[in-house]
Amino acid sequence: MSDIDSGKLWYHPYLDVFLNRWYANYEEARGSLDRHGGFLLPYQKHFFICQPDVITALGLDSNDPDWEKIGFDCSHPVDAAAFERLREKRAEVVRNSETS
SS3 of residue 49 by DSSP: strand
**Neighbour order of strands in the sheet with 21-23:** 21-23, 46-50, 39-43
In angstroms, the CA 50 to CA 48 distance is: 6
Task: Single out the residue of 74, 3, 7, 2 nearest to residue 38, CA to CA.
Answer: 74
In angstroms, the CA 80 to CA 72 distance is: 12
In angstroms, the CA 46 to CA 97 distance is: 24
The pLDDT tens digits of the residues spanning 16-73 come to 899 999 999 999 999 999 999 999 999 999 999 999 999 999 999 999 999 999 999 9
Prediction pTM value: 0.90
